[in-house]
Amino acid sequence: MSAAGRRRCLGVMLASMLLLGFAIATQADAAESPSFSMLPDTLAAGAPAGYTLNLSIPASGGTGVKQMSVTLPQGAVISPAAGGGLGTCSKEQFALESSEAATCPLDSQVGTALLEASAHSEPQQGQVFLGEPSCGAGGICTPADAQSGRMVRLLVQVDAGEPAVPIKLEGIGEIDQQTDQLTVSFEQLPPVQFVDLKLSLNGGQHALLANPRTCGQASSDLTLVPSGASSAPEFLANEFSVTEGCITPQFHPTAAVAAASGQALGYDPLTFSFGRADADEYISAIQTTLPEGLLPNISSVPLCGEAQASAGTCPAGSLIGHAAVQMGPGTDPASVEGGQVFFTGPYKGAPFGLSIVIPARVGPYTLAGTNGAGELVVRAAVNVNPRTAVLTVTSDPLPSALDGIPLQLRLIQLALDRPDFITNPSSCAALQVTSTLASVQNATASITSPFQASNCGGFTFAPTFAVSTPAKTSRIDGTSLYVKITDPSTDTVAWKVEVELPKKLSARLSTLQKACSVATFESNPAGCPPGSLVGVARTSTPLVAGAFAGPAYFVSYGASKFPELVIVLQNDGVRIDLHGETFISKAGITSSTFATIPDVFVTYFEMILPAGPDSALTANGNLCQGPLVIPNEFAGQNGAAFKRSTQIAVTGCPKGKRGDPAKRRHHHHRGQRSRRVHARRVHVHARRVNTHGRHGR
């Protein structure tokens, strides 16, 4: 039985028990027995419902009743939707032992009572109030509080008329934390006689109780303990059937994402919404993949540590947004606001994570939550796709109940509204957010939401491209190549770069034959053979503190094409792989095409392919004779593109009469030292790739 069902039943039973307590000084003869019924005002499955309990006691003979307990129908629960505007009555306001009338606030009244002392008397009217929990420190109710009856309490008052004092009863509701079954008990009933007792709990969208979500019979049980020492307890049962609006298994949740302005490359608050219809199965987990280029400014946020993230105690500096939820059945679920979203360090193998902290409130109850401090803490892993830099956020399982109360989450909203945190793509192409939601019954649904940035037309795209190579080459060590790309415009990002080497510089076939297998590379690049390691690269982006750096490998993706040049860039657990398609024409011209560059703005990119026994390149002829030109083509994410030819700077060439031999020798030795340094860096970077393919620090 669900926690919500038990609560609803609990409310009804508590009320009935209270009314019963008013009067159960029964005088039933041996031939007659008490009877009771408990019926909702609607038979719709899962709907908020007002329950009415009727108890009849034979007017002849019998003994009083000192205890009474009711077990609620399986599946009837306290409705989280009842929380809107619902208050409680304190012990002082109800004054159980006082002869004065209770002074409970109006918002704590959840029903009415009628007591008929005899078949010929006028019914006496009363009220049913929701009692203030008697939980521990800070009013936070733990599962033990819910189990022992310190959380759910019903208070009943009946006006006995002048000059009699009001009749007051206190009932406690016990929620079995293993089965979610609710039992309401009145252990000290006054010896008041009655023949009929009627307890009605309010109905409507904010009813205290909700029907079982499954059609069929619902049964409640009542136990009466007579006052006489020799009298045995009496057991009564009542059944009704849920027959309307039967819920069949279904899961059709919704997902949406919205940016405040959508300005390309601009910072924008981002809002996510995940919901379900009342008849849908409960949401248990969410995974969302963002469009390419929609990225956080990680450098602007101090990451929350793991211990604080799990406890829900992250510092304010790591706050990136806010959260809210809606809970409960019906057309007007209750809202819980004031949640917070924090950015964390590594979580479950991902380089980053989220700690989402939401107040664990269900109506007037502050539940222990998942951290024991009255808060629901949900963690999520934030993974980065190494090819595209696309982020995928995967939540941990969402709790379906707390302290035996069902949450019945209807809407989950996350607003990432930290200033200058979320940056939009530089592309104005039609993109999408993909979300996969799972239900508690293991159903899944995949939902795509459109996303498109705007105002890309005025952006400039003017990256600079510089290439150099030394004049001195050898048959054994081949030659080296240094490449540097910068883009001072900061307006857009390249998505494709294609370069074509001059014929005097070509790929070294002996090195291509040592390419790393794709299986080894994808398992862990550090396992690739030394001969496949051909260079190092370095780059930086304002979105992440520090530089990305790492090795470059030749990787074989099958015999049908040349090995790719794959550059593994790493920084603080984030890995980005740049894949360059290698092609050698029949004329011996080598070209490399990077066709899937992530939409991440970088301030610079530099790469060295050093000389050595396993150099990536070899030289054909004297590089100082005639200009060396490298045709190149750049295409931006915003659609801008251009082609040009860049002259390669050859260092160490003789300068004729204007040349200075001493300077040439100095330049030559400096070039040799530079190549040796770069060669050492290649092997250092290779060693720093750990078993997970992440750059060591």
Mind listing the pLDDT tens digit for each residue in 115-139?
Answer: 887 666 788 899 999 999 999 878 8
Query: Residues 640-667: what's their mean pLDDT?
Result: 70
Domain definitions of the chain by residue range: 3-242, 254-451, 464-688
CA-based max dimension of the chain: 133
Backbone dihedral region for residue 14 (phi beyond 0: left; psi -120 to 50: alpha; all else: beta): alpha
Instruction: Note the pLDDT tens digit of each residue in 392-421.
Output: 999 999 999 999 889 999 999 999 999 999
Which residues does residue 40 pair with via DSSP β-bridges, in sequence order?
51
Q: Which phi and psi angles does 361 have, rounded to 5°?
A: -115, 130
Q: What is the pLDDT of residue 8?
A: 40
Cα Rg of the chain (Å, integer):
37
Asked, as a colleague might, if the bond just before 163 is cis with ω within 30 of 0, I would say yes
Going by pLDDT thresholds of 50, 70 and 90, the confidence category of residue 6 is very low
Place of tokens 């039985």: 1
Does pLDDT of 76 surpass 70?
yes
Instruction: Note the pLDDT tens digit of each residue in 498-556.
Output: 999 999 999 999 999 999 999 999 999 999 999 999 999 999 998 999 999 999 999 99
Spatial contact of 468 and 650, defined as CB atoms under 8 Å apart: yes
- Which pairs with CB-CB distance under 8 Å and at least 24 residues apart come from 582-588? 582/507, 582/512, 582/554, 584/506, 584/507, 587/503, 588/503, 588/506, 588/620
When the pLDDT of each residue in the chain is averaged and rounded to a whole number, the result is 86
**Closest to 148 measured CA to CA, from 183, 120, 123:** 183
- Which of 56-60, 286-290, 502-506 holds the top average pLDDT? 286-290
Alpha carbons 239 and 218: distance in angstroms, whole number: 6
Q: What is the pLDDT of residue 274?
A: 98
Q: Structure pTM?
A: 0.86
Which residues does residue 168 pair with via DSSP β-bridges, in sequence order?
157
Instruction: Note the pLDDT tens digit of each residue in 440-492.
Output: 999 999 999 999 999 887 777 888 999 999 999 999 999 999 999 998 766 67
Spatial contact of 696 and 573, defined as CB atoms under 8 Å apart: no
Helices and strands (H and E) in the chain: how many: 7, 46
Of 381-385, 428-432, 548-552, the range with the lowest mean pLDDT is 428-432
Of 15-19, 308-312, 527-531, the range with the lowest mean pLDDT is 15-19
Which helix (DSSP H) or strand (DSSP E) does residue 594 occupy?
strand 590-594
Q: What is the pLDDT of residue 62?
A: 52
Beta pairing class for 109-116 and 77-78: unpaired
Spatial contact of 615 and 603, defined as CB atoms under 8 Å apart: no
